[in-house]
Amino acid sequence: MLPCGTFSKDYGEDSAVIRTRLQWVITITALVFLFTIPLWGNDYIIGLVSYTCILIIAVLGLQITTGYCGQVSLGHAGFMAVGAYTSALLTIKLGLSFWLALPMAGITAGLSGFVFGAPALRIKGFYLALATMAAHYVIIFILMRLEITGKTAGLHPPPPEIGNFALNTNVRMSYVIISVMVLMTFLAKNLVRTKAGRAFVAIRDNDLAAKVMGINIYYYKLLAFFIGCFFAGIAGSLLGHWWLVITPEMFTIPQSLIFIGMLIIGGMGSISGVFFGVISLRLLEEAVTLFAPLLSAAIPAVGMDIAAPLAGVTFGLVIVLFLIFEPRGLVHRWQIFKVAYRFHPFSYV
Amino acid sequence: MSELLQYMITGLMIGGLYALVAVPIVLVFKATEVVSIAHGAVLAFGALFFWFFFVALGLPVWLAILLMLAGAGLLGLIIERFTLRPLIGQPLFSAFFMTVAIYMILDGIFALILKGGAVAWPAFLPTGHVYPAGVRISLSLLTTFGISLLLFGILMVFFRYTRMGLAMRATAEDHQLSQSVGISVQSIFLLVWIISAMVAAVAGIATGNVMGVSYYLPFFIMLKGLVAALFGGLDSIPGALVGGLTLGVFESVAAGYLDPLVGGSIREVAAFVFLLFILIGRPSGVFGLARIERV
């Protein structure tokens, strides 16, 4: 719902994402703020922002596969691993530059999504969800067994370079990560507005009806898997070249489940929902990590290593509450607020 | 040859355990059409309850088992009443994600209680091995196998011959239709969660007997149960039995012959590769009902 007095005078205006002057101001301020964080932030804040951005890229992919196309993937972290290992191998073994390895990682992850998404041609619903979980298991197993991927010790990807300038600190790398995140958000936002994006939504809502309408559901389901895993691969590659180490243990099934939780909390089928979901769960995780040692100190009986299980319990509780009270996620609350704000003196919509 | 036989027999015995783990998942699916991820954690809690009553409180075995059943039933009741009932009428995937969230909560609490360690109880079922025809069979696994078969028998009879079983099958078929012939869908859901939590708890004792109760039990057993249930078809109790046994044999044979080649733990992944192929070949499991959809 746009504010009063916003008219569409031609097709371009009608299909524009940013419509009003205020939206331009907010967008530009947000971008400027995001890119100046590395200038003033300390190491903790920069690390937090970079990691959150990487997760946003991964969850954007999951949003397209699951939120838009309705193909639940419980193995998304596995495809992140494919991306991370691909770009690590390309840079270490072949000496390719990171800037070439990054898109290659995305494409390889996308192709692996193609392979493991192929069961989606025949199976759907829960069976597909659990097949993707099996895919995750198989991917991690292969990575842990092969000599070339360093078995359980993993790999040490080099930091990206511009000329001879190595991006080997948190600050330098955060610029890359934030830029890629903005680019991928732009891509995702526009992708779901294309013919393919609308086909995804039709398949999600009722695949048989979509087929009757002339949508090639096999093609679009595979495309959804490819795109979702492409995003995951990009995220994995960035993670590897930022942390400079990747091991199979970094990409777990609980991580994939948390991605799904982020989608639920943010809101399915909405690009801005990804931001709501990822940021709120990340903040929650940080809060739990800070709070856990205090709890251990206050009640010694609970033991010391309680951060991880406590985070699991908190995430679970939050997801339960959202599913019961706001299944459409935070983004729905935000839309309600926006409408109420724009119609302020009037209570109706 | 005797090597193969040994692997197969061991696998069959372990498979009995997997089948038992798959049963609660199938039970819930039959009545509510929801795949429950949470049952791995419920099972682990069953084992923990048993440990608490049997070892920590030092009660006799029969009393500990009864109390454990009560505790597990209560857990099932709480899960259904407070988390899944509000979702009746919502898309099935909401309920699926709800079980994922419940799994996360229970798994976290379980890890908090065990603090990364493990508990075990003194053997109260027969231990040791028997050697019929030169094949080594662990007695504790054999007992587990017996318990599984017994439970399967009871459940089959329950679903086929009792009014309640019929009501549950009707509910699985269509919620609205069964409501209109006077079946209370809500109480069926509640009941099926309580029963499945109790079955899971029994499976928990069987599992704990074989491999102890450690902090990673919920995750491990959830995966095995899901694979076994999916293999047989989520809506078929005999399918769960066949699925569990096949999974056990397949894992054991694969581990026996392939582990030396790839360096261990093929057991972990063999099941999933197997599952992927089964799902591509028969999308609704080997014994599952293929549904025909209309728009």
Tell me how far the alpha carbon of residue A156 is from its chain's centroid.
Answer: 23
Per-residue model confidence (pLDDT) at position A349? 54
Residues A216 and A310 in one domain: no
**Stretch 18-57 of chain A: residues touching chain B, C-beta under 8 Å:** none
Would you place residue B159 in the very low, low, confident or very high pLDDT band (cuts 50, 70, 90)?
confident
Q: Contacts of residue A308 in chain B, CB cutoff 8 Å?
A: 111
Does residue A14 fall inside a structural domain? no
Give the one of A122, A312, A324 whose C-beta lies nearest to B108's C-beta.
A312
Does residue A57 fall inside a structural domain? yes
Does residue B292 fall inside a structural domain? no
Q: What number is the ipTM of this complex?
A: 0.86
Alpha carbons B126 and B124: distance in angstroms, whole number: 7
The DSSP 8-state label assigned to residue B56 in this structure reads I
Nearest CA in chain B to A134: B272
Cβ distance of B280 and A118 shorter than 8 Å:
yes
- Hey, which residues does B130 pair with through a beta bridge? B137
Does residue A35 fall inside a structural domain? no
> Tokens at residue A338, please?
């926006």
Residues A149 and A177 in one domain: yes
Does residue B47 fall inside a structural domain? yes
Does residue A292 fall inside a structural domain? yes
Residues A226 and A319 in one domain: no
Final residue before a domain boundary, out of A251, A285, A303: A251
Does residue A46 fall inside a structural domain? yes
Alpha carbon of B251 to those of A17, B30, B271: distances in Å? 53, 27, 6
- pLDDT tens per residue across span A67-104: 999 888 888 999 999 999 999 999 998 888 889 999 99
Does residue B289 fall inside a structural domain? no
Please report which helix (H) or strand (E) contains residue A321, including its range: helix A307-325
Residues B201-212 have a mean pLDDT of 85
Alpha carbons B222 and B41: distance in angstroms, whole number: 7
Does residue B102 fall inside a structural domain? yes
Interface test with B, best of A314, A320, A326 (most B CBs within 10 A): A320
**Domain span including residue B54:** 2-281
Cβ distance of B109 and A309 shorter than 8 Å:
yes
Hey, is the C-beta of A206 within 8 angstroms of any chain B C-beta? yes
Contact B48/B251 with Cβ under 8 angstroms? no
Residues A160 and A102 in one domain: yes
Give the lowest-confidence range in A282-286, B26-30, B186-190, B269-273. B269-273
Residues A159 and A201 in one domain: yes
Longest dimension (CA), chain A: 67
A vs B: CB pairs below 8 A = 134
Residues A294 and A228 in one domain: no
Does residue B290 fall inside a structural domain? no
Contact A176/A160 with Cβ under 8 angstroms? yes
Would you place residue A295 in the very low, low, confident or very high pLDDT band (cuts 50, 70, 90)?
confident
- pLDDT tens per residue across span B220-256: 888 888 888 888 778 788 888 888 888 888 888 888 8
Does residue B268 fall inside a structural domain? yes
Give the one of A72, A134, A311 whose C-beta lies nearest to B272's C-beta.
A134
Residues A246 and A288 in one domain: no
Does residue A13 fall inside a structural domain? no
Burial label for B41, CB within 10 Å (0-12, 13-18, 19+), is buried
**Domain span including residue A243:** 42-251
- pLDDT tens per residue across span B98-123: 998 999 999 989 888 887 778 888 87
Residues A292 and A343 in one domain: yes
Residues A259 and A239 in one domain: no
- The total number of structural domains in chain B stands at 1
- CATH number of the domain within which B104 lies: 1.10.3470
Does residue A223 fall inside a structural domain? yes
Residues A325 and A232 in one domain: no
Would you place residue A348 in the very low, low, confident or very high pLDDT band (cuts 50, 70, 90)?
low
Residues A173 and A239 in one domain: yes
Alpha carbons B216 and A130: distance in angstroms, whole number: 20
Residues A200 and A302 in one domain: no
Tell me how far the alpha carbon of residue B165 is from its chain's centroid.
Answer: 19
Does residue B240 fall inside a structural domain? yes
Cβ distance of B295 and A208 shorter than 8 Å:
yes
- pLDDT tens per residue across span A237-269: 999 999 988 998 889 888 999 999 999 999 988
Cβ distance of A313 and B112 shorter than 8 Å:
yes
Cβ distance of A208 and B293 shorter than 8 Å:
yes
The 10 Å Cβ neighbour count of residue A321 is 13
- The total number of structural domains in chain A stands at 2
Q: Contacts of residue A135 in chain B, CB cutoff 8 Å?
A: 272, 276
